[in-house]
Structure 1
Amino acid sequence: MSIEQMQATSAFLREFIEAVPGAVYAKDRAGRILFGNAGFGEAVGWSSGGFLGKDDLELLADKDLARAVMENDQRIMARRARCQVEEKLRAADGTPSYWLSTKAPWIDEDGNVVGLVGVSVDITERKRLEEQEKLLAREIEHRNKNLLCVVQSVVRLTRAPTVEAFRQTVTGRLEALGRVESVLMRERLKPANLRCLLLEELAAYDIDTSDRVRLAGPPVYVRAEAGQPLALAFHELATNAAKYGAFARPSGTLDVSWGLERSGTRLEIEWREIGRPTVESPIRQGFGTNLIRSVVERQLRGTVSFMWEASGLRCVISIPVENAAPN
């Protein structure tokens, strides 16, 4: 091969290595950088050429991580075998990055290990998605356990004169849980909008919310584990309103308002019905007050009060603000 051909081949290889995505590098036996492409310079935060002759302790801000990389490189050279490993780096500002590195000992013509060559690909985004999936799996497991507890409470606290009435009541309550699950899944298990939870439940009763329902309050998002018991409470209140309260007559209306109390430590939700069928008609005490008290007090560590006024039912639910989440 002529000198011109060797120069052309060398130039081609350099262009090829520069075009390879990720970091390509070579180190001597002591771990000093002999060669690195632009991707390597970006990975270690050094400009092109500035990293030559330096080892990882000199290049990387996190010295513990640098020592771990160098120790692993020495093991690879000692074993004289190619190895693939995930490595963590940390920028000067503390931002972590993750790399999938394939490394092999550099062996000369005499069979001596004179260094190491490697290719590292940035897998930071992949690691982030993997952690997100793990977090999601843990959240689903946690919420499924909570949901089972709620379902057990629903069955235990349901009373009905007949089997069919029992079935209908339990079915309605489980459907309410299904609706809140739909809201949470649409939000990918993120905190759910309180207004959306209310509208989702009221929509099940085919009520014209534009004319008969007024919702007022600041944007509030409730944590997933609080959404289930709140949805059940709203379901019981709406069921009572449809059977015995404001929605049992065409002119009945509902006002729901919410906000933080003065101390800022509790979220208060007020459900006020206006226009029950007759002032004299008794409000049904067994419509689900026990269930509402159970889910609010036991699962949300809150309080609930019922006031049967001349205009209709007024219910105030007060829960610790920890059940809410920032938008």
Structure 2
Amino acid sequence: MRRILPGVIFASVASVGLLMAAASWFAVDQANRINFSAVADEAVRRISDRVESHILLIRSTGAFFAASGRVVSRTELARYVEELRLSDAYAGVQGIGFARLVPAQPDGDSAVSAEIGGNYGVDVTPWPPTDQPDRAVVTMLEPATDRNLIAMGYDMYANSARRSAMDLAVKTGSVQASGRVELVQNQSQPKQAGFLIYSPFYGPQGGKPGARPIGFVYSPFRANDLFSVALNRSPDLPIRITIYDTTASEQNLLFRSEGMTAVDAEQYKVSTTLPVAGRRWIIEARPSPDYVPPADQSRSYILAIVSILLAAALALSSRAQQQAVMVGEDLQKQTQKNLNDRELLLQEMKHRIKNMIARVMAMARQTARNSADIDQFTTSFIARLDAMATSQDLLARSKWQRADLRTLLVQELRQVFGEGLDETRLSGPAVQLNEAATQAFGLTFHELATNGLKYGFARNADGELSVRWVFETAGNDSNLVLNWTERCENEIPETQAVVGGRAGGFGTRLIDATMRIELGGTIERNLGPRGLTVAITVPVKKIQPGT
């Protein structure tokens, strides 16, 4: 609990501060959203007002035709349109015209061609080809600009989007807007999206149920011109607008503000619908780069940063106090460990002295058994003592440095068994040991060799020793596995076996402590009637130099 207390303090204080910062941020964000929604509503209102004025224009033109009780002449329509001053007051409107509804037959084509010729003095045949039973041919369009004259004779009923709007106008008896179209008189590049608004005209008989209209009073609109003028009124709105007809898809796109990109800010995006003469437009509003939220979020960020810094300061203060206590406890533990290490060192020294005396006595017995006289015994015994001293000196140096496993093993075995060691029975890959592993394995080899000399295979003329080691992989871990194997052709006496394998003396405990505790490994002994097998397994990461 004491270790996690600084973290608990940090998490608690930081959480409270961040919650306060989040609440502040949310409140500011909501205020900014409301503000931008008001800007977006103003943009939609401007568009709605502009479109409504244009729809009213079509209605008034239809009323002009109805009041006349006939299709007005081209001269009358031209004078009427001139008085409206479309280019000044109705930007985006390409003109006001009339489309005559006639059967798609040679007689009908001839009639509208003659009407167009009488109005504008041009010889035009209705176009394009159609598979419909009727045609709605443009016979008048004012003002008579070069662009509008291109539309003369165009059969709007041949186009599905225009035809659908005209059919709905007849069905509902009111003005009807079309979907997105490309105006035939729109020859500029890139071409603007457009739409048309139709009002059916029935002539003197009026719009009785089921009556067939004479034609349609209509007006074509260039969407970009219309919406740009509507939005660019003073004061400027820091907003970007996208307008779709019916569904938000590129094929239904009517208008997109200049500079609009796919990465424009989505944070304050507002989407709304606008009913327009029987159609439903989808209007999406996003802030432009000029939009500045009225409420600044920086205070929320500053509050979050201050909360984290305060939490960190309190946590560090708590940690510093704990460290002062822990230093005292660690000092006490280190003192106790040093006392324990000194006691272990004294016990090991006593044990090694006893083992050294046992080795000297064993060497004396073996030398005496194989010596013919006292001179031969003296010479051999002194030579072995000298070899033991030399090996002991090399071993002492290697224990505190980087050492090779095989070299360490050979030194220990030679120290115990002399130069007659059969090194061919020692096999395995090259293994470099760190300092801790060198001490552990050196001590282990020393104990096993001395044990073999005192109680094991070395006491029997037919005894043999083999040591083999390999690397093995277990899952994601790699281990070093070393097998110490002692074999005799004759069975080992029971008393000797008990002393050698199961006594559990200081040497056995020392080996266990080094392998299991220091290196995190395992050691298994298997004593049989003809010998002893010791299997040592340690993780490679525990013995590598630098660890």
TM-score (norm 1): 0.45
Larger % of helix: which?
2
TM-score (norm 2): 0.28
Bigger-Rg structure (1/2) = 2
Larger % of strand: which?
1
